[in-house]
């Protein structure tokens, strides 16, 4: 099982907006526990899809300057409907601001015109070497990996 | 607990900012909860919980936000509009709201517009006075 | 990958608050994607761990009769990250509870460090989502979840206490 919660970047406007899609399949193991007899994508993974979408927008906008992009805060994340296997969700994330080490966004996910999730959230981005210069090689490795992953999402 | 209307507004503003994730300046007296501030069912529950805590009062959700049960009752709604009985029921349940514009065209889709920040302040004022 | 994000409860005060713990280990596959070379527990999975801690607390308050699901993350803030080898402690408190919903507050710590503060809202879906269809049985609180409470003994104050409410 891989921890990647979007499948494709549909459109990307650096500094501004990104649209991505994720398809849900019964092959995703956690669905067996969430829930038995009623498999639906867990709410936090819907948020993860929004976070990953925003992270790609940051990476492209800052040209992969930072290795670590983490959620700093989220507010008013609402789950309005369920997403079941066989369905696909399209995430739209708009940037309010993208600065060097922080950014904030609003985002939502739609499936067949129905709103599934919406959120306001902020990310923080940094390099491990900022605190400890021996981590430079690790930063480089993560950034290389993210560039390769970007290719998978075309 | 003699709170001024302004003090009540400050507390209500804080509750709405926390519950709805909106900015301070979006919470004006005229702002509608559903239209302007994006509140929905789950948010109404959150708002009630927080108002109860902030003001030390008990708020039956039905009293503050009766719209949902009204909309689902066939006696109260006909052809997308509230019937006379429906209007009477609404007036009875929400004395803290101003209906004059709504009464001219009681379209149920516009019910949401009635519930403004001002209406909440009125409600809290009444509850505190009665306490 | 199982969808269980806490390992056990160490305190449980029915209807009020609870404490759970989770070990973070390199054996967890997802860490290797987040991020390759520097694994940290994804924040969303930290939120899920809190949701499971709080959700079981809320569910148990109604004897697991309601299907309790996460409806809203009111607010969450992260102050630090969590790495393999860490054990996180999740403290959850019920702020309000009604037949339709519940709101909880919580914090995650790792030793002395504050990792996150997370406030959530849960919906009791049979009472609250008219028009959507669900299976009859309570698919939310499976035996796996309920068994997390089994390790707790009643009231003697030793590690792992289960204090009952009115019943």
Q: Are C58 and C16 in contact (CB under 8 A)?
A: no
pLDDT of residue C51 exceeding 70, the answer is yes
Number of domains in chain B: 2
Catalytic residue among A19, A34, A120, A150: A34
What is the second-level CATH architecture of the domain A8-152? Roll (3.10)
CA A35, chain centre distance (Å): 23
Q: How many CB atoms lie within 10 A of CB C164?
A: 12
Of A42, A67, A71, the CB nearest to C43: A71
C-alpha span between C155 and C157 (Å, rounded): 6
Instruction: Tell me the average pLDDT across C27-44.
Output: 96
pTM of the model as a whole:
0.89
A115 lies within 8 A of chain B by CB: no
Q: Tell me if C95 and B45 make a contact (CB, 8 A cut-off).
A: no
Of C40, C44, C132, the CB nearest to A48: C44
B82: distance to nearest CA of chain C, Å? 21
- Weakest-pLDDT range from A105-114, A117-126, C27-36, C138-147: C138-147
C-alpha span between B25 and B42 (Å, rounded): 23
CATH of the domain at C114: 3.10.129.10
Do residues B80 and B55 both lie within one domain? no
- Which residues are bridge partners to C109 per DSSP? C89, C114
**Where in the sequence is the domain holding B99, given as residue range(s)?**
66-112
Q: Are A56 and A48 in contact (CB under 8 A)?
A: no
So where are chain A's domains? 8-152
Write a three-state SS string for B58-103: CCCHHHHCCHHHHHCCCCCEECCEECHHHHHHHHHHCCCCCCHHHH
* Confidence band, pLDDT 50/70/90 cuts, at residue B76: confident
Q: Tell me if C33 and A3 make a contact (CB, 8 A cut-off).
A: yes
Question: Please, what is the angle between helix B117-130 and helix B41-55, to 10°?
Answer: 40
CATH of the domain at B128: 1.10.1200.10
Neighbours of chain B (3+ CB pairs under 8 A): A, C
Output the CA torsion A26→A31→A35→A41 (10° steps): -90
In the residue annotation, C124 being an active-site residue is answered as no
* Confidence band, pLDDT 50/70/90 cuts, at residue B68: low
Give the pLDDT of residue A98.
97
Q: Is residue C46 included in any domain, yes or no?
A: yes
What is the residue whose two structure tokens read 């959507």? C132
C-alpha span between A75 and C47 (Å, rounded): 12
Radius of gyration, CA atoms only, chain A: 16
Low-confidence ranges of chain A (pLDDT < 70): none
Q: Are C75 and C56 in contact (CB under 8 A)?
A: no
- Which residues are bridge partners to A102 per DSSP? A124
Neighbours of chain C (3+ CB pairs under 8 A): A, B
Do residues B52 and B15 both lie within one domain? yes
pLDDT of residue C158 exceeding 50, the answer is no
Q: Which has more confidence, C63 or C153?
A: C63
C-alpha span between C17 and C11 (Å, rounded): 8
Q: Is residue C116 included in any domain, yes or no?
A: yes
Residue A82 tokens read as 């369920």
Tally A–B CB contacts below 8 A: 8
Output the CA torsion C54→C57→C58→C64 (10° steps): 130
Q: Tell me if A78 and B20 make a contact (CB, 8 A cut-off).
A: no
Which pairing describes strands C8-13 and C161-163: parallel, antiparallel, or unpaired? parallel
Radius of gyration, CA atoms only, chain C: 16
* Confidence band, pLDDT 50/70/90 cuts, at residue C167: very low
Question: Please, what is the angle between helix C43-61 and helix A43-61, to 10°?
Answer: 160
| Average pLDDT over all residues of chain C | 87
Instruction: Tell me the average pLDDT across B73-94.
Output: 77
Q: How many CB atoms lie within 10 A of CB A135?
A: 18
Q: Is residue C157 included in any domain, yes or no?
A: no
C-alpha span between A78 and C74 (Å, rounded): 8
The ipTM is 0.96
* Confidence band, pLDDT 50/70/90 cuts, at residue B23: confident
**Where in the sequence is the domain holding C69, given as residue range(s)?**
8-142
Give the pLDDT of residue C156.
37
Number of domains in chain C: 1
Q: How far is CA A110 from CA A8, B89, B93, in A?
A: 15, 36, 36
Buried b (16+ CB within 10 A) or exposed e, C15-42: bebbbbebebeeebebbeebbbbbbbbb
Q: Which residues of A touch B20 (CB under 8 A)?
A: 76
C-alpha span between B37 and B20 (Å, rounded): 7
Q: Are A57 and A96 in contact (CB under 8 A)?
A: no
Q: Are A61 and A14 in contact (CB under 8 A)?
A: yes
pLDDT of residue C166 exceeding 50, the answer is no
């Amino acid at each position: 099982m891989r921890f990647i919660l979007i499948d494709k970047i549909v459109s990307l406007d650096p500094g501004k907006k990104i649209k991505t899609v994720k398809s849900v399949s019964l092959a995703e193991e956690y669905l067996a526990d969430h829930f038995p007899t009623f498999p639906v994508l867990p709410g936090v993974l819907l948020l993860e899809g929004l976070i990953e979408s925003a992270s790609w927008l940051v990476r492209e906008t800052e040209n992969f300057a930072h290795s670590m992009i983490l959620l700093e805060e989220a507010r008013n994340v609402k789950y309005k409907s369920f997403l079941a296997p066989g369905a696909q969700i399209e995430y739209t994330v708009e940037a309010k601001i993208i600065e060097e080490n922080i950014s904030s966004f609003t985002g939502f996910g739609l499936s067949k015109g129905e709103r599934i999730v919406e959120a306001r959230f902020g990310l923080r981005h940094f390099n491990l070497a900022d605190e400890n210069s021996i981590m430079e090689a690790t930063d480089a490795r993560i950034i290389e990996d993210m560039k390769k992953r970007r290719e998978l999402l075309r | 607990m003699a709170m001024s209307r302004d003090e009540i507004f400050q507390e209500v503003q804080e509750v709405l900012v926390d519950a709805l994730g909106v900015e301070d300046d979006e919470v004006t007296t005229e702002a509608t909860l559903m239209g302007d501030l994006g509140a929905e069912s789950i948010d109404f529950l959150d708002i009630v919980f927080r108002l109860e805590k902030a003001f030390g009062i008990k708020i039956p959700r039905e009293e503050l936000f009766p719209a949902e049960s009204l909309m689902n009752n066939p006696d109260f709604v006909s052809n997308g509009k509230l019937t006379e009985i429906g209007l009477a029921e609404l007036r009875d349940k929400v004395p803290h709201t101003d209906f004059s514009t709504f009464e001219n065209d009681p379209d149920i889709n516009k019910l949401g517009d009635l519930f403004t920040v001002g209406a909440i302040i009125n409600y809290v004022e009444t509850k505190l006075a009665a306490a | 990958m199982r969808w269980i994000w806490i390992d056990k409860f160490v305190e449980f005060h029915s209807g009020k608050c609870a404490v759970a713990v989770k070990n973070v280990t390199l054996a967890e596959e997802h860490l290797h994607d987040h991020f390759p070379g520097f694994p940290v527990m994804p924040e969303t999975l930290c939120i899920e761990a809190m949701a499971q801690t709080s959700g079981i607390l809320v569910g148990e308050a109604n004897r697991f009769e309601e299907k309790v699901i996460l409806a809203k993350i009111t607010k969450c803030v992260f102050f630090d990250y969590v790495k393999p080898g860490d054990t996180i402690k999740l403290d959850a408190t019920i702020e309000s509870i009604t037949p339709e919903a519940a709101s909880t507050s919580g914090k995650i710590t790792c030793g002395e460090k504050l990792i996150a503060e997370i406030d959530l809202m849960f919906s009791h879906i049979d009472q609250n989502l008219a028009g959507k269809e669900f299976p009859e049985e309570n698919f939310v609180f499976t035996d796996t979840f309920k068994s997390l409470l089994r390790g707790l003994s009643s009231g003697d104050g030793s590690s792992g206490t289960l204090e009952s409410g009115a019943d």
